[in-house]
Amino acid sequence: MKIKISKSIATSLICILISANVYASVTMIDGTGFSNSIDVQKSRLYLKGAALLRYWIFVEAYAGALYLPKNSNGDQALDDIMKSLELEYRVAISADDFARATRQKIKETVSNSTFNRLLPKIETLNRLYKSVRPGDRYALTYVPGEGTQLIYNSTLLGRIEGADFATALFGIWIGDDPIDKGFRDKLLGKE
């Protein structure tokens, strides 16, 4: 009888350890799970920070996670380095609303000459957007020398070239004048 109890206890401990290991590879943000690392081409990016964005205090818009190379810190996030931002939506948003918000936010955060220079790339991105429902995910992944990929629920929608475009686009969330400073600081690992 003691042997069966010991095997049972051992089996339970192994199951607990396996479960702990599975959950250790995911960070949960208010019910949304993000992997602690992702593979981009032949490189691995690591979760720098994750957060929940609310608007009007009570409405949960989306949960987000920022991935950077292993030895990068948040202050380098807008540099010409590989990076990925993943957002899981809690509300429905139309493709037109994405386009309008992207155009407006970039216009607010860059000079007029930079905005005019980037406008064709902004409009290319805006044509790629699809409407989202709760649970859908977008990922923006920038690879130096190749550009920024827009991925919708694991499907690549397109790629836009240019480090300057990536800086302006990622700046919406992690720049000096982001959508939400608390959200930015958590993504950058500052909170």
> Per the domain annotation, does 20 fall within a domain?
no
Calpha distance 86→66 (Å, rounded): 7
Question: Residue 155: what pLDDT?
Answer: 97
In a domain, residue 139? The reply is: yes
4 domain residue, yes or no: no
> Per-residue confidence of the chain (191 residues) as pLDDT tens digits?
444 444 444 444 344 333 334 445 999 998 999 999 999 999 999 999 999 999 877 889 999 999 999 999 999 999 999 999 999 999 999 999 999 999 999 999 999 999 999 999 999 999 999 999 999 999 999 999 999 999 999 999 999 999 999 999 999 999 999 999 999 999 999 97
Q: Which domain holds residue 62?
A: 28-187
Query: What CATH number did the domain enclosing 108 receive?
Result: 3.50.70.10
The number of folded domains in the chain is 1
Assess if residue 59 is contained within a domain.
yes
Q: Is residue 153 part of a domain?
A: yes
DSSP state of 2: H
Collapsing DSSP states into helix, strand and coil, what is residue 13?
helix
pLDDT of residue 14: 40
Residue 160 makes CB contacts below 8 A (sequence gap 6+) with 121, 124, 125, 147, 148, 150
